[in-house]
Amino acid sequence: MALVSICIPAYKDARGVKRLLDSICSSDYADVEVIITDDTPDDSVADAVRDCLSDIQTEADDAFTGQLRCASVDANPDVHYRHNAPGLGPAGNWNRSLDLAQGEYIKIMHQDDWFTFPDSLSRFVRMLDSNPDAVLAYCGSRQVTIKPDDPEDLSDYFDRCIKDENRALIEKDYRGLYIGQYIGAPSAVIYRRSDLRFDPNLKWLIDADFYMGLLKDGGRMVCSKDPLVSIGVSDTQLTNDCIASGEVNIREYKYVFNKFGLGEKQEYRDRLSDICVRYKGKYEDISDCGITKEEYKPVLKAYRRELCDFYRHLIIRKLFPGKHFHE
């Protein structure tokens, strides 16, 4: 049995899946199995996977296994492909890949992401091996723009990693992830095998909720600031549909607030109020979470002041272009 299960929940992006499998082939770490669960309604992803495999064994119409065809004969991991018909949706697809995984370490990789360096996966594994009390390890990321007209050009990128103060915040109290999702996308994480699954009630806070679930029983997290994974950034990502939606943000922040009992700390109460204000909600939208009007009004006032300052500076810059003003 492989130590690491690389779980790839796929949907339509055959090119991305091929790029990810190529990065697995380039890895210096071989003790892995690859699980691909596919929501794509056609055969495009399945065909791309087959092209990367040798010794394919068909088990059923919607499933096959084989070995990843790599340059090194010592690094040909088993690949298990499963097609979902009908599609399960994001959370369902992610969870099916976890259900099929057999490894002690779970490494989710989304189809538009890939390993940045040949030693990326071995460094993930060493973080857990060297810290037996850690339930998860995470890393920095390389944010790569995927250009629609030239998806092979991956030259436009920047690296980012967690700030020291944010790392200290979530290491002190894992619920600090409610203030900001500082760990990053699931592709930036490896964790020890768990019965926990992604919550199908969520799509925007689904990863933060999952990390909080892993950490709530006292497990530790470890971090590398190096960009061990590359995150493909494009207009087709699920996050683009969520980030601007007031309905999604207010509903999901309320849900997680109640799920983890965050009402005991003022900073989390203020965070929920801030989300409601910024997404043009009303006090009544969060009053059932125990937020009082006395708590809500200062947050609303601060936001209005911030908004007035923004428009004041915008008008000044338009009236006096090229000029610099000091407060």
| Long-range contacts at 147-154 (CB < 8 A, ≥ 24 apart) | 148/234, 148/235, 151/15, 154/230
Whole-number pLDDT of residue 324: 59
Please give the structure tokens belonging to residue 172.
């002190």
Q: What is the tally of structural domains in the chain? A: 2
Is residue 324 included in any domain, yes or no?
Answer: no
Same domain membership, residue 99 and residue 221: yes
Q: How far is CA 249 from the centre of its chain?
A: 16
- CA separation for the pair 67, 260 (Å, rounded): 42
pLDDT tens-digit readout, 124-157: 999 999 999 999 999 999 999 988 888 888 899 9
Q: What per-residue confidence (pLDDT) applies to 76?
A: 84
CA dist., res. 141 & res. 161, Å (int): 6
Distance CA 199, CA 286 (A): 21
Quote the pTM value: 0.90
The confidence score (pLDDT) of residue 57 equals 79
Name the strand (E) or helix (H) holding 171.
helix 164-172
Mean pLDDT in residue range 316-321: 65
Domain assignment of residue 268, given as a range: 244-319
- 223 and 276, same domain (yes or no): no
Per the domain annotation, does 128 fall within a domain? yes
Stretch among 16-20, 183-187, 193-197, 305-309 having the lowest mean pLDDT? 305-309
Assess whether 169 and 229 both reside in one domain: yes
pLDDT of residue 171: 95
- What's the average model confidence in pLDDT over 316-322? 65
Q: Judge whether 9 and 39 are in contact, CB under 8 Å.
A: yes
pLDDT given for residue 319 in this prediction = 65
Identify the residue with better confidence: 307 or 134.
134
What is the average pLDDT score of the chain?
Answer: 91
> Do 68 and 192 sit in the same domain of this protein?
yes
250 and 188 assigned to the same domain: no
In a domain, 262, yes or no: yes
Q: Are residues 197 and 287 in the same domain?
A: no
More confident residue, 30 or 131: 131
How would residue 320 be classed by pLDDT, with cut points 50, 70 and 90?
A: low
Would the pLDDT of 283 be above 90?
yes
Residue 65 pLDDT: 94
Q: Judge whether 34 lies within some domain.
A: yes
Q: What local confidence, expressed as pLDDT, does residue 55 receive?
A: 79
pLDDT of residue 313: 60
Token duo for residue 31: 């003790």
Residue 235 has pLDDT above 80, yes or no: no
- Give buried/exposed letters for 117-152 (b at 16+ CB in 10 A, else e): beebbbbbbebbeeeeebbbbbbbbbebebeeeeee
* 142 shares a domain with 31: yes
Give the span between the Cα atoms of 305 and 289, in whole angstroms: 25
The three-state secondary structure class of 214 is helix
- pLDDT tens digits, 153-166: 889 999 999 999 99
Query: Which position has the token pair 């607030």?
Result: 257
Residue 182 lies in a domain: yes
H or E, element range at 105 = strand 105-108
Residue type, 202: L
Q: Among residues 218, 241, 264, which one ends one of the domains?
A: 241
Q: What is the mean pLDDT of residues 282-290?
A: 95
- Pick left, alpha or beta for residue 154 (phi over 0 → left; psi -120 to 50 → alpha; otherwise beta): alpha
Same domain for 159 and 237, yes or no, is yes
Q: Tell whether 135 and 205 lie within a shared domain.
A: yes
User: 136 and 273 in one domain?
Assistant: no
Last residue of one domain, picked from the residues 209, 241, 273: 241
